[in-house]
Structure formats: C-alpha cells, structure tokens
C-alpha cells in the first residue's frame, strides 16, 4: 500500500487499454478518479461498471473507452446517458463495444471474480434476448438436478478504483452505507486504488462493518469530495440537482465538450474542478 496523489495513482495503475472498474452503486462513485483518467487522456479502456452513471458518460464522451461491461446505462431517475447513447447509436466520438448483462448476472460475475472462480451461476436471463446478443452468457447443467442454469464469466479488472469515506495511515479502508458491488470489484481486481474523503491515524473498531484491509489496497489517495456529484454517506449528499442538469449538458456534443473542457480539462485537479462549479453558478 502506498499513499499517492491522484495523478500518480492514475499514471501508475491505469494505462491505456486496461480493464478498469470504477465501482460504487449510486453511492461513492469515484468521479475524481474518472476525471483524472480523462485528463491523462487514457484510450482504449475496457470500462466496467454495473451502472455507467455520469462518470462513464463523461469518459465515453471524451473518447477514453473502447468497450463497456455494464448492466444498466441510464441517468437514474432522469433518463438517458446521452454520451453513451451517442457512442452506441452513432459511434461518436468512437464506437463502443458492449458486454451487456443484467444486474444479477453482473453481480454473479463480480463474485466469481472475487472468489477466483472462472464463472458465476445464476437462475437468470430467463426468456431474455441478452443471451442471444452476448455470447459470454452461457449455461450449465446442475450435476444433481439436471436443471439448466445461466453462467457468466468472472470479471477480473486490471484495476478497480473505489471512493470511500476514510482510510487509516496503513491503508485500511472503511466504507459506510450502500456498498453495491464495491467489495467484490475490489477483491476481483489485480490492483486496487481507493480515493478517500479523509485519512485518519486509526480507524474505529470495525467488528462487522465494511473494511478493506490494507494489504488488499495498492494505493490510497486523499481526495475530499472525490465522489461528487455522487455522494459519501455522512460527508455530503448526492447532488440530485446536478444529475438533473446533466441531461441538458450531455444531450448536445458541443455543450458536453465545452463543459468537460471548462470544468475538467482546464482544471489541474479535483479541488479545482469543484471550485469551477461554484464559479459557474
């Protein structure tokens, strides 16, 4: 475990062409890390996330991604992810290959990855055309009952990036609130980078709460506000208003590009990104 700046962590752990999972289900989405990947102009990434959300909309729109593994690609409660749609419907700014699952299928694939099994099993995809368009979804026969069950290949990212509330100096990471598939994505990955709101000398006794032990963590990055406009339970709320505004920003290629240039590319880091939103208001 190392303490790195976000710039260093992305330089080190996110080369172009990597399989990258930025996880966090609505909660704790690592926006700052995604923006730094955009700044460092990574290309040909295989992006992995259950819900691409705004962060992958931005990364796809900025041309970082060649392939997307996902299970639901909307702006929650708002509508479409317009940059994702534009890539799929019109190949802009470049074509995007889809590896599409259901939530249950993708969760099973992460679990298999974390357990270092080659596949996950589920009662799933019943009567669903996803089976016909995604050759990775297959089936297996139960050796006891003879039933046919669906299988998904394990997901094992080269690097998983998470955001969390806090880490201690050794790199133990504590997560509080909705965890989604964060733990499975972390354990399935070769490298694990975690941006955190706060670094403390020592975490409180954990008992059954969610901790990623330091020896699973490749790098910890101190990055307050790093999940914004997503949220960090106990630190700041989800900016639902921003999610609603994003619809108009992202609908148009020019307004999207201008927003990204102004708020991400022209800014050296996340602190400056956050400050730029204040200026815009």
Partner 1 sequence: MTGWTRDEMMTIAAARMLWDGCVCFVGIGLPSAACNLARLTYAPDIVLIYESGTIGTRPDVLPLSIGDGELAETAACVVPLPEIFSYYLQGGRVDVGFLGAAQIDRFGNLNSTVIGPYDAPHTRLPGAGGAPEIAAHARQTFVVMKASPRSFVSKLDFYTSAGFLGGGSAREATSARGGGPKAVVTDFGILTPAEDSRELTLTALFPDTTVEAARAAVGWQLALADELEILDPPTPNELATLRALNERTSEAHRRPVELPA
* Torsion angles phi and psi, residue 127, rounded to 5: 60, 25
144 counts as binding a copy of itself under rule CB under 8 A: yes
CA max distance for the chain: 64
Query: CB of residue 264 vs a copy of itself: minimum separation in angstroms?
Result: 32
Query: CB of residue 28 vs a copy of itself: minimum separation in angstroms?
Result: 13
276 counts as binding partner 1 under rule CB under 8 A: no
116 counts as binding a copy of itself under rule CB under 8 A: yes
107 binding partner (options a copy of itself, partner 1, none; Cβ < 5 to 8 Å by kind): partner 1
Per the structure block, which two tokens stand in for 163? 């955001």
169 binding partner (options a copy of itself, partner 1, none; Cβ < 5 to 8 Å by kind): none
- Residue 240: name the closest of 94, 54, 116, 45 by CA: 54
272 counts as binding a copy of itself under rule CB under 8 A: no
Report d(CA 151, CA 135) in Å as an integer. Answer: 11
| C-alpha distances out from residue 149 to 105, 117, 155, 174, Å | 12, 16, 18, 36
Q: Which stretch binds partner 1 (CB under 8 A): 4-12, 41-49, 203-211, 251-259?
A: 203-211
Do the Cβ atoms of 34 and 22 come closer than 8 Å? Answer: yes
Q: Which of 66, 104, 136, 200 binds partner 1 (CB under 8 A)?
A: 104
Query: CB of residue 106 vs partner 1: minimum separation in angstroms?
Result: 9
Q: Which of 147, 252, 258, 261 binds a copy of itself (CB under 8 A)?
A: 147
Report d(CA 215, CA 134) in Å as an integer. Answer: 35
142 binding partner (options a copy of itself, partner 1, none; Cβ < 5 to 8 Å by kind): a copy of itself
The helices-and-strands tally (H runs, E runs) of the chain is 10, 15
Decide: helix, strand or coil at residue 208. coil
Size of the site for partner 1 (CB under 8 A): 83
143 counts as binding a copy of itself under rule CB under 8 A: yes
User: Read out DSSP for 108-176?
Assistant: HHHHHHHTT-SEEEES--TT-THHHH-TT-EEEE-TTT--EEEEEEPP--SEEEEEEEEEETT--EEE-
The two beta strands, 159-168 and 173-175, are antiparallel
Q: Which stretch binds a copy of itself (CB under 8 A): 45-53, 94-102, 135-143, 241-249?
A: 135-143
Sketch the per residue contact string, 72 through 111, with a copy of itself: x for CB under 8 A, - otherwise.
----------------------------------------
Report the interface residues with a copy of itself, using CB under 8 A. 116-119, 121-123, 138-140, 142-145, 147, 149, 151, 153, 175-177, 179, 207-210
């Amino acid at each position: 475990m190392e303490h790195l700046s976000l710039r260093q962590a992305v330089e080190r752990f996110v080369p172009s062409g990597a399989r990258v999972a930025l996880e966090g289900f609505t909660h704790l989405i690592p926006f700052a890390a995604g923006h730094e990947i955009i700044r460092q102009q990574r290309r040909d990434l295989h992006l992995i996330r259950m819900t691409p959300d705004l962060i992958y909309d931005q990364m796809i729109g900025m041309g970082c991604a060649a392939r997307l593994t996902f299970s639901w690609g909307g702006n929650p409660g708002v509508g479409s992810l317009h940059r994702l749609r534009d890539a799929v419907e019109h190949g802009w700014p470049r074509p995007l290959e889809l590896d599409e699952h259901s939530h249950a299928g993708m969760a099973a694939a992460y679990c298999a990855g974390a357990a270092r099994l080659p596949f996950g099993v589920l009662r799933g995809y019943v009567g669903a055309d996803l089976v016909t368009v995604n050759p990775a979804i297959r089936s297996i026969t139960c050796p006891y009952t003879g039933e046919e069950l669906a299988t998904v290949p394990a997901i094992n990212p080269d690097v998983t990036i998470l955001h969390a509330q806090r880490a201690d100096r050794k790199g133990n990471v504590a997560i509080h609130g909705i965890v989604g598939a964060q733990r499975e994505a972390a354990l399935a990955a070769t490298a694990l980078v975690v941006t955190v709101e706060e670094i403390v000398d020592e975490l409180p006794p954990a008992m059954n709460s969610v901790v990623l032990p330091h020896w699973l963590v490749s790098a910890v990055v101190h990055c307050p506000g790093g999940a914004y406009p997503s949220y960090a339970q106990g630190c700041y709320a989800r900016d639902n208003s921003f999610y609603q505004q994003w619809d108009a920003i992202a609908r148009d290629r020019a307004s999207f590009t201008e927003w990204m240039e102004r708020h991400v590319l022209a800014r050296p880091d996340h602190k400056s990104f956050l400050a730029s939103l204040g200026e815009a208001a």
